[in-house]
């Protein structure tokens, strides 16, 4: 793997991009945050890659010759390798050379994910919600120290606080001594003789706690809200992880959502559609007036501007909102008797519509559904 791949940057990355990538990875793999052996090895690789690429001359040599240390020619020059063997890897493990000291007990806590359901109205305007989560929190008895109150870790008798012990290894140069994590203290340099009874020496316990979240207006199903530091508390006082809240919006009986717009359907009697009227409907913004003009056809849409959901930009709700579309459905009577039937028949005669049978051409249905669709989409006769 090349130094560029180790840092996760392109070969033509700028100095600033390389610096940012290094800082991000160094925080991730630093021994005080991530004490594992794999993390320590990765931290060493990341640091070495940055050391070469942050120096313009060494970076140029690396790009030209491919030498891992950025020397003018592979295998020669100050501090370089020999025959592809990196002396720095050997001497870095000797006492007094590259020793990083005792490891930290502190480990970062994990992130947590929970789901929260909100109503459509809450999703439109936003809502502040208190939720209960069960997660790891800092132990109040030892305050994250892992020790019983009044006690503290003691220096390891085996490694004398260094966290490492000498061991003999075989290298291309012969048998040499290198440093390995102390088995007695597990590389921490100290031993906890009196671990906290409450947390069993972890510095954290499982507990249910209440968290207040602010759900912004315009939120949608599947959106996640990140609460930094509200996840699991770290081991031995390590930094807490983040809490992610995934939102699910419940369906509404009266309104449907289409992006930032809302849609609702209202039914009006045939006579109202024919004669026209002003109707009042309930919305999330309170009662609103809808004008039903005389001769309104079923499927007609009236738009009420700015009564939809708030628009969400970069996770923040704005004052800009979508629209509310009101679809008017005209109801045709299904059972007509007596005087009602007489009046409808009289109306049909007055309008010349009293024929009970006959053939009607499709293109003559000026008020029909297909005719309206052709008008809406600009289609002509086939």
Average pLDDT of 67-95? Answer: 48
Q: Is 50 inside a domain boundary?
A: yes
DSSP-derived pairing of the beta strands 256-258 and 261-269:
antiparallel
Q: Is 72 inside a domain boundary?
A: yes
Q: Is 117 inside a domain boundary?
A: no
Give the per-residue pLDDT at 140. Answer: 94
Give the per-residue pLDDT at 370. Answer: 38
pLDDT bin (cut points 50, 70, 90) of residue 71 is confident
Residue 159 known to bind ligand: yes
Give the per-residue pLDDT at 315. Answer: 83
CA dist., res. 217 & res. 155, Å (int): 55
CA dist., res. 273 & res. 72, Å (int): 88
Average pLDDT of 170-178? Answer: 64
CA dist., res. 262 & res. 256, Å (int): 6
Which of 91, 114, 145 represents a domain boundary (last residue)?
Answer: 91
pLDDT at 80 over 70: no
> Between these two residues, 150 and 34, which has the higher pLDDT value?
150
pLDDT bin (cut points 50, 70, 90) of residue 31 is low
Query: 84 phi and psi, to 5 degrees?
Result: 80, 5
Pick the closest to residue 210 from 228, 230, 238 (CA basis): 230
Q: Give the chain's domain count.
A: 2
Give the per-residue pLDDT at 57. Answer: 84
Give the per-residue pLDDT at 372. Answer: 41
Which of 91, 115, 139 represents a domain boundary (last residue)?
Answer: 91
Q: Is 168 inside a domain boundary?
A: no
CATH number at residue 57: 1.10.287.110
pLDDT bin (cut points 50, 70, 90) of residue 171 is low
pLDDT at 270 over 70: yes
Give the residue numbers spanning the domain of 348. 256-377
pLDDT at 319 over 70: yes
Residue 182 known to bind ligand: yes
Q: Is 301 inside a domain boundary?
A: yes
Which of 91, 124, 140 represents a domain boundary (last residue)?
Answer: 91
Residue 196 known to bind ligand: yes
pLDDT at 19 over 80: yes
Residue 146 known to bind ligand: no
The tens digit of pLDDT for each residue in 149-168 reads 999 999 999 999 988 887 77
Q: Is 288 inside a domain boundary?
A: yes
Give the per-residue pLDDT at 359. Answer: 53
CATH number at residue 276: 2.60.260.20
Q: With 0.75 as the threshold, say if the pTM is over it.
A: no
Residue 156 known to bind ligand: yes
Q: Is 173 inside a domain boundary?
A: no
């Amino acid at each position: 793997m090349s130094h560029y791949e180790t840092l996760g940057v392109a070969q033509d990355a700028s100095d600033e991009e390389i610096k940012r990538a290094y800082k991000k990875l160094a925080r991730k793999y630093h021994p005080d945050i991530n004490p594992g052996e794999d993390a320590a090895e990765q931290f060493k690789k990341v640091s070495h890659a940055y050391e070469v690429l942050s120096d313009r001359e060494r970076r140029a040599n690396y790009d030209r010759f491919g030498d891992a240390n950025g020397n003018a020619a592979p295998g020669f020059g100050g501090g370089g390798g020999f025959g592809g063997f990196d002396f720095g890897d050997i001497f870095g493990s000797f006492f007094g050379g590259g020793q990083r000291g005792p490891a930290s007990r502190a480990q970062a806590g994990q992130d947590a994910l929970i789901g929260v359901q909100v109503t459509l109205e809450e999703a439109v305007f936003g809502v502040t919600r208190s939720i209960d989560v069960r997660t790891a929190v800092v132990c109040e008895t030892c305050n994250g120290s892992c020790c019983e109150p009044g006690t503290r870790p003691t220096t390891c008798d085996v490694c004398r606080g260094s966290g490492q012990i000498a061991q003999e290894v075989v290298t291309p140069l012969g048998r040499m001594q290198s440093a390995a994590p102390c088995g007695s203290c597990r590389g921490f340099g100290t031993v906890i003789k009196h671990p906290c009874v409450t947390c069993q020496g972890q510095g954290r316990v499982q507990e249910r706690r209440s968290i207040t979240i602010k759900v912004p207006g315009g939120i949608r199903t599947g959106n996640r809200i990140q609460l930094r530091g509200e996840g699991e508390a770290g081991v031995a006082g390590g930094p807490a992880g983040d809490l992610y809240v995934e939102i699910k919006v419940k369906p509404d009986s009266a309104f449907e959502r289409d992006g930032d717009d809302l849609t609702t359907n209202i039914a009006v009697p045939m006579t109202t559609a024919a004669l026209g009227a002003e109707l009042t409907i309930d919305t999330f913004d309170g009662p609103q007036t809808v004008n039903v003009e005389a001769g309104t056809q079923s499927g007609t849409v009236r738009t009420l501007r700015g009564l939809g959901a708030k628009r969400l930009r970069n996770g923040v709700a704005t004052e800009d909102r979508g629209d509310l579309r009101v679809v008017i459905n005209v109801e045709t009577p299904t059972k007509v008797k007596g005087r009602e039937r007489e009046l409808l028949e009289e109306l049909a005669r007055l309008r010349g519509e009293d024929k009970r049978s006959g053939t009607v051409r499709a293109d003559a249905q000026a008020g029909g559904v297909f005719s309206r669709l052709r008008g809406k989409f600009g289609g002509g006769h086939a």
